[in-house]
Amino acid sequence: MLVRKIRNGTVIDHVPAGRALLVLRLLGITGKEGYTVAVVMNVESRKLGRKDIVKIENRYLDPGEADKIALIAPTATINIIRDYKVVEKRQVEAPETLTGILECINPTCITRKPREPVIPRFRRVPGERLRYQCVYCGTIIEEEEILRQLTGTQ
Ligand code: CTP
Ligand code: ZN
């Protein structure tokens, strides 16, 4: 046991190795908010080989945050802890449609026209890889672009 159990809060487990800090960034947690946070990186996992874990005391996720975590950490499990017990365990799931979360990368897409207030919408492309297609112009957004947009990295 690398870090202690938490009393109340959220444990984001089975995060792909190397993505824990991206999860924190996505949640807007910089350390200045005062939450007690534990990050475990590159620990052994039976399912994944290596994984990261993020524990945040007294912080719970809204559904939009859970959706975004699904996009950058598709294997993650969200555990809600109350009084030291796991009271809820949920496998994140990449949403079938995304509204207003990603931007289309096609500069001529209607969603990019400053005068047309069209909110970007994407549909998930079936398959192993995480890919989304713009419903307006058909452009496909790949995983690296999703990461770049959600976390400002890469
Ligand atoms: N955890 C914690 N504090 C608690 C309870 C659990 O930090 N009071 C953490 C555990 O360390 C683990 C995660 O929350 O990383 C899920 O806990 P649990 O369901 O007990 O572990 P597993 O059965 O190993 O989970 P899974 O089946 O999802 O791998
Ligand atoms: Zn588009």
Instruction: Please name the fold of domain 9-91.
Output: Alpha-Beta Plaits (3.30.70)
Express each pLDDT in 138-147 by its tens digit.
999 999 999 9
Q: In the chain, what is the straight-line distance between the N-terminal and C-terminal CA atoms, in Å?
A: 32
Between the CA of 86 and the centroid of ligand 1 the distance, in Å, is: 7
Burial of 139 (0-12, 13-18, 19+ CB in 10 A): middle
| H/E run at residue 16 | strand 9-16
Give the Cα separation of 122 and 99 in Å (integer): 7
Q: Out of 2, 10, 11, 90, give the residue to mutate to test ligand 1, the one with the largest number of ligand atoms within 8 Å of its CB.
A: 11
Q: Is domain 97-151 in CATH 3.30.429.10, yes or no?
A: no
> Which ligand 1 atom sits closest to the C-alpha of 4?
7
Domain ranges of the chain: 9-91, 97-151
Sign, CA torsion 27/99/134/67:
positive
Q: Of the candidates 51, 69, 46, which has an alpha carbon nearest to the alpha carbon of residue 15? A: 51
Express each pLDDT in 55-101 by its tens digit.
999 999 999 999 999 999 999 999 999 999 999 999 999 999 999 99
